[in-house]
Amino acid sequence: MKDLLLLVAATAAALPALAGRPLTVDDANVNDPGHGHVEAWYARAPGRLHTWTVAPAFAPIDGLELGAAFSRDRTTPQSTEAVQAKWRITPAQDAGCNVGAVLGASHTRGTGRTPYLNGLMTCNSDWGASHFNLGANRAPGASTLATWGVAHEREFGAVTAHVEAFGQRRAKPTVQIGARTEIAKGLQLDGTVGRGNRETLVSVGIKASF
């Protein structure tokens, strides 16, 4: 039971709101209409869980992106699926801010469904892009928990680096850094390292855009 609760906590933090790799804090932008991507990554999550995740997303119309994720924990073992809709409410700004929202739900086999809602804001400037999240989720049989996140990313030549902090009520925040780079047209390699609940957390992933 302890391992199962750890998995629920880890996936609740990692899946909502299916942020674009390697960020955990989501941005307020979506794919262009008719375009999408597939992300896959390995992560050492809180509770020393070792998880593999695959997450496709596609924008059928302007401003709306539909996403899903399948995560498999090799430690427990347990599986978690998630689906969500992401709406870019206002147009993205090269110099300024725009807002968006995410509505979705994750499901861990044997435990039930966790719905979540996340408000998003992205602000772009000469210093890079800053992202702000404020939301909530409700695990099966539990009360609603507020979630939050803040991140900043900036390009350094071919590499985009970021720093972020995120968490939820009744839990210690996680702080991590990461970077991504394009190794071929439409193919991204990325990774993160962070610290949360006195544990070192790492992830390595790849993203293919189409």
Mean pLDDT (whole number) for 161-180: 95
- Residues, the chain: 210
Higher per-residue confidence, 18 vs 30: 30
C-alpha 57/C-alpha 72 separation (Å) is 18
Domain that holds residue 119: 2-209
What's the pLDDT band for 171 if we cut at 50, 70, 90? confident
Mean pLDDT (whole number) for 100-120: 94
Percent of residues, the chain, with pLDDT higher than 70 = 92
Residue 207 has pLDDT above 50, yes or no: yes
Domains in the chain, number: 1
What's the pLDDT band for 10 if we cut at 50, 70, 90? very low
CATH value at residue 91: 2.40.160.40
For residue 17, the model assigns a pLDDT of 57
C-alpha 148/C-alpha 173 separation (Å) is 9
Residue 151 has pLDDT above 50, yes or no: yes
Higher per-residue confidence, 128 vs 9: 128
Q: Of 148, 71, 145, 133, which is closest to residue 102 (Cα–Cα)?
A: 133
* Contact by Cβ (8 Å): 162, 152: yes
- For the ranges 23-27, 62-66, 141-145, the lowest mean pLDDT is seen at 141-145
For residue 49, the model assigns a pLDDT of 85
- Cα 168 → chain centroid: 14
Which residues are within 8 A (CB) of 171 and not within 5 positions of it... i.e. 6 or more apart?
9, 13, 197
- Per-residue pLDDT reduced to its tens digit, 45-83: 877 789 999 999 999 999 999 999 999 998 888 899 999
127 C-beta neighbours (distance < 10 Å), count? 9
